[in-house]
Amino acid sequence: MPARLAAATLAAVVTILTAADRTWSAPADRIIRGGPIVTVNPGQPAAEAVAIAGGKIVAVGDEADVMQHKGEATEVTELAGRTLVPGFIDGHSHFCSLIDVLTQALCASPPAGPCRTVADVIAALKQSQERRKIGPGKFVMGFGYDPELLAEKRAPTKQELDAAFPDNPVILVHVSGHGAMLNSKALANFCITAATSTPTGGVIGREPGSNEPNGLLFETAFLPIFSNLPGPDGDAALELLKTGQDLYLRAGITTAQDGATMKHQVDLLRILADRGDLKLDLVLLPFIAEIEAIFNGQLPKNEPEYRNRLRIGGVKVLMDGSPQGRTACFTTPYLTDGPAGQKDWRGELSFPQPVLNEWVKKVYDGGATLFVHCNGDAAIDALLEAHRFASGNEPAQPRGTVGIHSQFIRRDQLEKYKAWGITPSFFTIHCFYFGDTHVANRGRAQADFISPMKSARGFGLRPTNHTDFNVAPLDQLFTIHTAVNRVSRSGQTIGADERIAPLEALEAITIDGARVYGEEAKKGSIEVGKLADLVVLSANPLTVPPTTIEKIGVEETIKEGKTVWRSSPVPVRSLVR
């Protein structure tokens, strides 16, 4: 090598090294110290301090070492014994349901809401009508009712809703979000009559001895209504989403999901993002029926990077319904009748298997990540069959597929998930909210194996965990609590053998959540080079008595080094503020 070229090369190397050294030695924007730091990094499980610069973590370790990054302008945050953990990553929820939660009547039962009787539900609807000054002819909306928890063990009837709201159409959405009760004016508004056929995969309740609809709609019979629920749009909807995101931030969530996003919602969220109004990262999963419109007729694909904190991260496919609504699809009958009184009821697939096969193939061929809603074991069989069909002769080829809920998965199906690279996103919060219902509907043995976190990890899987908001409140500490304790509303233990350790439960909503989005290199643990997405907790979930984890509060949520939410340590079980 000529001497002149060698000298130039050496000078370039020195310049690069000097620049790297300047970057490393630059003062931190913020240092956090003074309490336990749970890194969720097995190579360095704990630390005394963390330094942040430019929105990223630049140092983790002993306080004395990290404090060397302190400059004159460095902000030093004292934990004062509180605990720092990675920002929580939402395994599955419906971000756009913030609009419903903030504008509709809360008809859930305690602790998520106030309703214990049918009269309470009607009163909640009345109060919402009066508070929002809903005039004649306008829709009165409510959400979250659970007939299993009302004293009468039933929903308000069409006739009761007609009598209470003679001048208004009423839609009362079931706690599962998969169905609703409608009064006569609402049925007429959507042209649902005695002549309306029950669609494949759907339920239309009928009055005894006739074809007259009784107001109950579920699954594909409800889906067209759900996709076009009346409510705010335009600037009003944007403002609700902007302010409502605090419900996510107060739960410590720094990366959220909108599962089954419709075209109009994608458009709305892009406006919100482009205005700079998102304080957290938001991953959209367009609903399979909307992909032609969203992707302009092209095969679906993921967006590799966030644009103003928003990106499309996959496509959502629906295989079945809700186990608490008795519309999830099983290989064996329910112990109770179907939602419309069906006998020997096993539920139904949302769509025929050939349709599901083609949808899954379209997603795979386009290169997008597939997120599949499947609750009952027959629906999970349908997912596996669609995956096999779409994969040709290579079903084990890794595709990043996620089985959302996968609640009533069998052991042989877990084995297939592992062999074929499918990750379950479990729902252990069901153990509390619906565990007693599952025992009644499915029997003790099957109920005890819902969301089998321990068995899944034993197979080598790394499941995520979620709230499915607005089915359940956004409460990540309660999600950890239910994975560790698995206790129902009545105090029954739901599957003691599937309890996991607090650290494993924390991993499910941090690093394991990052993996399903393909973001584990920059999120999910407290490591140098990763984004400074962090949460300050009132106590350490790894060291408190396991039965008290639910009492831990989120005190501060930090996105890329900046505080985006701060409050006193008060845990929240309610669905609304």
State residue 9's pLDDT score. 39
| 142-164: average pLDDT | 96
Write down the domain spans for the chain. Answer: 3-81, 97-226, 257-526
Q: Quick check: 576 pLDDT over 90?
A: no
Pairing between β-strand 402-405 and β-strand 423-426 as defined by DSSP bridges? parallel
- Give dist(CA 531, CA 557) in Å, integer: 13
Residues 536-545: pLDDT tens digits? Answer: 999 999 999 9
**What are the CA-CA distances from residue 450 to residues 198, 337, 424, 430, 480 (Å)?**
30, 20, 12, 8, 15
Give the type of residue at 62: D
β-strands 83-86, 281-286 pairing: unpaired
How do residues 321-346 score in pLDDT, each as one tens digit? Answer: 999 999 999 999 999 999 999 999 99
Which pLDDT value is given to residue 568?
57
Residue 401 — pLDDT band, cuts 50, 70, 90?
very high
More confidently predicted of 26 and 73: 73
* Beta strands in 130-289, from DSSP E residues, in sequence order: 140-145, 170-174, 179-182, 202-206, 213-219, 253-261, 281-286
pLDDT in tens, 273-324: 999 999 999 999 999 999 999 999 889 999 999 999 999 999 999 999 999 9
| Per-residue pLDDT tens over the stretch 414-453 | 999 999 999 999 999 999 999 999 999 999 999 999 999 9
User: So what's the pLDDT on residue 393?
Assistant: 81
Instruction: Compute CA distances 187 → 141, 198, 215, 222, 552, whole Å.
Output: 14, 14, 7, 11, 44
DSSP annotation of 1 reads -
Task: Please name which of 408, 318, 407, 396 lies closest in space to residue 363, comparing C-alpha atoms.
Answer: 318
Would you state the CATH architecture of domain 3-81? Roll (2.30)
Confirm if 271 and 238 have CB atoms less than 8 A apart: yes
**Cα–Cα separations (whole angstroms), residue 44 to 32, 88, 501:** 17, 19, 18
Element counts in the chain: helices (H) and strands (E): 21, 23
11 pLDDT band, cuts 50/70/90, is very low
Q: For 257-526, CATH number?
A: 3.20.20.140
CATH topology of domain 97-226: Diaminopimelate Epimerase; Chain A, domain 1 (3.10.310)
Task: Please compute the mean of the pLDDT values over residues 549-576 and round it to a whole number.
Answer: 82
- Confidence at residue 384, expressed as pLDDT on a 0 to 100 scale: 98
CA distance 245 to 554: 15
Cα angle 514-322-155, degrees, rounded to a multiple of 5: 130
3-state SS assignment for residue 163: helix
3-state helix, strand and coil shares in percent for the chain, rounded to the nearest 5: 35, 20, 45
180 φ/ψ angles, rounded to the nearest 5 degrees: -160, 160
- The residue whose two tokens read 């609504």 is 325
The pLDDT of residue 20 is: 37
Q: What six digits make up the tokens of 63?
A: 């306080």
Provide mean pLDDT across the span 255-272.
Answer: 96
How many angstroms separate the Cα of 382 from the Cα of each of 166, 179, 355, 420, 449?
44, 22, 11, 14, 19
Where does the pLDDT of residue 133 fall: very low under 50, low under 70, confident under 90, or very high at 90 and above?
Answer: very high
